[in-house]
């Protein structure tokens, strides 16, 4: 049985790995796949990671557990920065106090002006 594909857009810079998560939901149905694929991307790079979470509208405790697992798989000197969290996802991090473990930042700057 073939499951859904996990979508990420990865940009590698000199200082960090920028990953746009293109999944609308990180929940029990996809959390293990999300964790495994994200670990496969970040483990070999040896750089801090910036996750653009703007496309993620929902995250449950399984998704949060996957994020924590990926964070624990990185060496202690490397950070995971979460950018552009939607209000629902940001609420999950704040209510569980995981905002003290992850660096939550607002929307990254865009090159095009607002209309």
Q: What's the average model confidence in pLDDT over 52-56?
A: 96
- What is the average per-residue pLDDT within 47-68? 95
Note the pLDDT tens digit of each residue in 8-40: 999 998 889 999 999 999 999 999 999 999 999
pLDDT of residue 4: 56
pLDDT at 108: 59
Reply yes or no on whether the pLDDT at 115 is more than 60: no
- How far apart are alpha carbons 32 and 69 in whole angstroms? 10
CATH architecture of 12-105: 2-Layer Sandwich (3.30)
Q: How far apart are CA 15 and CA 13, in angstroms?
A: 5
**Average pLDDT score over the chain:** 87
Cα 38 to Cα 44, 81, 97: the distances in Å are 11, 14, 22
Q: Where are the domains of the chain?
A: 12-105
Q: Residue 105 pLDDT > 70, yes or no?
A: yes
pTM across the whole model: 0.83
């Amino acid at each position: 049985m073939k499951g859904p594909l996990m979508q990420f857009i990865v940009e590698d810079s000199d200082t960090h790995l920028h990953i746009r998560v293109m999944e609308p939901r990180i929940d029990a149905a996809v959390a293990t796949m999300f964790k495994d694929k994200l670990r496969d991307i970040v483990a070999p790079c040896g750089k801090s990671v910036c996750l653009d979470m703007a496309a993620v509208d929902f995250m449950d405790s399984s998704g949060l557990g996957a994020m924590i697992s990926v964070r624990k798989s990185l060496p202690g000197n490397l950070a995971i920065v979460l950018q552009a969290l939607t209000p629902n996802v940001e609420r999950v991090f704040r209510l569980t106090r995981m905002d003290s473990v992850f660096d939550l930042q607002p929307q990254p700057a865009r090159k095009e002006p607002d209309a």
